[in-house]
Amino acid sequence: MAGLTLITGAGGFIGGQLTRELLESGVAVRAVDCKPFDRWYFRSDSSQNFILDLRDFGACKKATEGVEQVYNLAADMGGMGFIEANKALCMISVLINTHLLIASRDNGVSRFFFASSACVYPDYLQRETDNRGLKELNTYPAMPEDGYGWEKLFSERMCRHFREDFGIATRIGRYHNVYGPLGTWDGGREKAPAAISRKVAMAVLSGRHEIEIWGDGEQTRSFMFIDDCLKGTKLLMASDFVDPLNIGSDEMVSINQLVDIVEEIAQIKLKRIYKIDAPKGVRGRNSDNTLIRKVFDWAPSISLNAGMEKTYRWIYDQAKARAEDRSFVAAYD
């Protein structure tokens, strides 16, 4: 059993669910986030809970005191709308991983997981909708997502060199579009599965049977359900595998197909309004899971239909509860 485990970004979607799972398995957890406690997605009295801004080195020193292993999930990020409009904020997150690695070295942390992203992959491999899958070795020559992707790629290299130079057992998981219940579903930081679910739910609740889709809807992605994300993360953290590894589904769909799935769940058909000038990211992105299957004899496999069923039902309930506020209903009249 591991000693004290630090989870950064613990007030967020993935961090909160990871905290819950580790606590349930008997792991001692220190949960850290910069958000006020009332904005955490999950918080338990069974963990040590701290509000710290990990861009500050002193905060990282405090967070890692007495810690054996670190899951670094902290970053300023969101969906494509946020990423494209906040490149500098995304880049500033490099301070978190840099200071956290130095503090981990100084405080004797033995194992360190870094949550990277499929945004590290080059733009020139993602210009067609028919993306056959991005392999881990495809990262260089580098041309990642501007801002957010560059920060993740630089931080990957930091992890590698801290492993080589200082002996910290760093592990790097490249997440591909994680979604599920209990995640961000409005406010501008939500990703496509949550945004589509919210828009469909609002169409049902308001009676306005139309939906705005960013781009032409033909751009493709793969989406990984939160349960698969957590399993892959824990497998990688406990393993001897040292190179970056995709943790993502390889079930690629277009955004139009994602809308089809949610419409079927909601039992509704909507008029589609395409906002061609909206942020839409790369044309096609998918995870190649050859390596993770070789390493673990496992890969994310929860189907998009099954995951979206749970996700939509949860978001519908949130939207319905909010719709009881008259001012909210009026905004959609």
For 240-268, the pLDDT digits (tens) are 999 999 999 999 999 999 999 999 999 99
Residue 21: helix, strand or coil by DSSP?
helix
Q: What's the CATH number of domain 5-176+226-247, 3.30.565.10, 3.40.50.300, 3.30.420.40, 3.40.50.720?
A: 3.40.50.720
Rounded Cα distance, 221 and 223, in Å = 7
For 86-119, the pLDDT digits (tens) are 899 999 999 999 999 999 999 999 999 999 999 9
For 188-221, the pLDDT digits (tens) are 889 999 999 999 999 999 999 999 999 999 999 9
- pLDDT exceeds 80 at position 332: no
Q: What's the CATH number of domain 179-222+251-286+303-324, 3.30.360.10, 3.30.1300.10, 3.40.30.10, 3.90.25.10?
A: 3.90.25.10
User: Chain-wide mean pLDDT for the chain?
Assistant: 94
Q: What positions carry a catalytic annotation?
A: 148
Cβ-contact 237, 191 below 8 angstroms: no
- E strand or H helix at 321: helix 304-323
Write the burial class of residue 277 (CB in 10 Å: 0-12 exposed, 13-18 middle, 19+ buried).
exposed
List the domain boundaries for the chain.
Answer: 5-176+226-247, 179-222+251-286+303-324
Contacts of residue 64, defined as CB under 8 A and 6 or more positions apart, other chains included, come to 6, 70, 100, 103, 104, 106, 107, 109
Q: How many CB atoms lie within 10 A of CB 307?
A: 24
Mean pLDDT value of segment 124-150:
96
